[in-house]
Amino acid sequence: MLTGEFRNSVDEKGRLMIPSKIRGEIAGNILILTRGIDTCLWLFPPEEWKKISDNLMESTSPFNAKARLIQRRIVAPAQEVEVDKAGRINIPASLREYAGLKKEAVILGIKKYIEIWDVDMYEAYWKENEKVFQNAAEELGGLVSF
């Protein structure tokens, strides 16, 4: 299960260490990296990416403007990245630029995929969305039980 919040540095070559706890949950050394929503990157195991991208392409039409936006934003920039022997992935410059990745990254395991954020962007996101989260949690209170 891909879960946890971690912080690691992005080196001058654009490489990011994937935490060993997360690496241990991934079969193989190939992952799919793409633009996410909320100015982060999404990192998927290949089998999860196949499910999502297939579903997205099968449920949308290139003749629909909104569908093309989603396809161009999420499917088109997706790239295979390899986890090297040191446990790092190389984040292509275009994806680093999109996510504003500079020196330090936040790596979030969200069960089926991983989000990668620039640390400052992540902190700004939470400052802006804390009230939204509180309201969403309140609404879910009646739907989720422990």
Tens-level pLDDT at each residue, the chain (146 residues): 689 999 999 999 999 999 999 998 888 899 999 999 999 999 999 999 999 999 989 888 889 999 999 999 999 999 999 999 999 999 999 999 999 999 999 999 999 999 999 999 999 999 999 989 888 888 887 665 55
CA distance 77 to 34: 6
- State both tokens at 127: 């400052």
Whether the predicted model's global pTM rises above the 0.85 cut: yes
The string over 56-70, giving b where at least 16 C-beta atoms fall within 10 Å of a residue's C-beta and e elsewhere, is: eeeebeeeeeeeeee
